[in-house]
Chain A
């Protein structure tokens, strides 16, 4: 088996056979043309541009037919391409080059393109600099149209000759894609995209996201390592692509996909709360951005939404405005039907913001830099807009606002003041009822965990985020294969931090939940129960297995085992897990 990593653009899962789109290598010859051929050459160039434009128009019309009114993003990107096709800098510039240097049109387009690329390379703004990709896509189409003497072929795939259905369900593996190509692949029903190159600024990347196609970018050597028809699994949650995997892994992902798509909480009965063997009541919350996952009947056994991330509202080229945020939050509250919904304010770094908003400077270590709540307090207008939308949404149901990466009590106080001011400014009809509103902190820095006693007086609840807490505590990046071995959720330092947070919060009567990957892993459930955890927040694919596991555990026994383990100088994680396993009783 082979596992490749990349940058994930969405959290979906796809299983399917690989279809390789080998980039077409084009030889661009330079020919000198006779003076009396120049006008013919220019006419040939215009005809190629015209054919390309018609082709794009057709694509846009098809998109409209297939999904009317939808996909504003797709339209916009394709429009940029159309405008480039009549851009005087490109079109007139090429005509001038044909005239002045008496060369063939292909060569003239290519030299024009190279000159433009040089000017773009000097642009500081990474988003604008990445627009050279759009120009390259367009000039490439023109050159192909010139070479072939007909409309350019957007997808160079033998499968497409056999009819449109032949790409359905395939995972397309290629070097790079343009927005028109992504649109066309979407129309052919491909299930996912794997690109060797691509930045998150690429329009194609943004488009794949907005069309809901799982995609991994930056998968090095994908075309070398993956053969046609290889069975692939793309896990957008972790940014991993499995090649030539085992049947067991395939079953696991089929189940996971099945859970995602249909029955989330097979084992959860709304009337029967989850209890351990010795009768301790537990809650499972959902990590989700998808209202359908919490809505009954699928999500009816769940206690509520424990973590709704909002980064997706901020990663597009411009952050969602207040009204569109409000619509998303309301949809989630409606689906939860009175159960609490925890929404985390944006957890992005300064590098994700766009030109006008991007803070100056920026350290070399983004994980330790201006991100999450720090960025929000540094860019209060962005945070205020989100808080306003959240406060207005809270009229509809109980909403818990969760602040990511809190380090000091002052940060929470600042946000609370901001909220109070915003409420005062809202029209009376939009004042959220006080009982609907809670403010909490994500505990994911060692500082926040160790100084939890200073944060608790400021919050209504806390949520432990073990993914970042592990990374910051162990000073190891879990995605870095060289130090990944250090990333162990059972490191005693981490267990002590979690234990400390739960103990302190419990003493003050502040609800505490845990929403990292650790919560979703059934084998750690006994450890967490033993540390005193009573509320788990996991993605929907993990609910059923976790619920099954929780019902087999004896909380008292886990507690005793963990109390001993925390003090044990010879602590052995594997022995601990075995001891917990030994204490379980089949349901």
Chain B
């Protein structure tokens, strides 16, 4: 299992649109992926779980991935967050 710290960068945080992109990406990977905020751990393949994190801009999260493609999964999710989900601000 691997872990990576990330900070939410986009202005609106993990609202429905961003959460949708995140789970769609997570679902492409075979292994299990979680997002952790302040010790609260949710399934990154669950849009509901992600919404319940209520992670606004500046929130620090940990991505945890476990499985044969854990490296790629972690990198893909971190990339999406760093790219602000393609939003322009």
Contacts and interface: CB of A to CB of B under 8 A. Distances in A.
A356 B52 contact: no
A76 B12 contact: no
Contacts of B11: 318, 356-357
Contact of B45 (A88, A134, A135, A354): A88
Contacts of A76: 16-17, 20
Among A83, A86, A90, A125, max chain B CB count under 10 A is at: A83
Contacts of B7: none
Given A83-B47, A88-B46, A89-B49, A355 B56 contact: yes
Interface string A127-161: 11001001100000000000000000000000000
B51 interface: yes
Interface string B7-29: 00001110111001001100100
B54 A128 contact: yes
B54 A87 contact: no
A86 B28 CA distance: 13
Given A80-B20, A356-B57, A89 B43 contact: yes
Contacts of A86: 27
A80 B24 CA distance: 11
Contacts of A203: 16
A480 B87 CA distance: 41
A88 B27 CA distance: 10
B73 to A, nearest CB: 15
Interface residues of A, number: 30
B48 interface: yes
B12 A83 contact: no
A67 interface: no
Interface stretch (A38-46, A115-123, A407-415): A115-123
B48 A84 contact: yes
B34 to A, nearest CB: 11
Contact of B52 (A79, A83, A123, A354): A123
Given A76-B20, A80-B20, A354 B47 contact: no
Interface in B36-61: 43, 45-49, 51-52, 54, 56-57
A84 B49 CA distance: 10
Contacts of A116: 48
Interface in A75-125: 76-77, 79-80, 83-84, 86-90, 116, 119-120, 123-125
A166 interface: no
Among B16, B47, B49, max chain A CB count under 10 A is at: B47
B76 to A, nearest CB: 17
Contact of A89 (B17, B46, B56, B57): B46
Contacts of B20: 76, 79-80, 83
A296 B5 CA distance: 58
Nearest to A131: B51
A321 interface: yes
Given A88-B43, A357-B11, A80 B16 contact: yes
Contacts of B12: 317-318, 354-356
Nearest to B87: A318
B15 A124 contact: no
B47 A124 contact: no
Contact of A321 (B27, B43, B56, B89): B89
Given A84-B48, A89-B46, A128-B54, 12 more contacts: A87-B23, A87-B47, A89-B43, A89-B48, A128-B52, A131-B51, A203-B16, A317-B15, A318-B15, A318-B87, A354-B15, A356-B11
25 contacts: A79-B20, A83-B20, A83-B47, A87-B23, A87-B49, A88-B43, A88-B45, A89-B43, A89-B46, A89-B48, A90-B48, A120-B52, A123-B52, A128-B51, A128-B54, A131-B51, A134-B16, A317-B12, A317-B17, A318-B12, A318-B87, A321-B88, A354-B12, A356-B12, A356-B13
Closest 8 pairs (CB-CB, A-B) = A89-B46, A356-B57, A83-B47, A87-B46, A89-B48, A355-B56, A356-B56, A356-B11
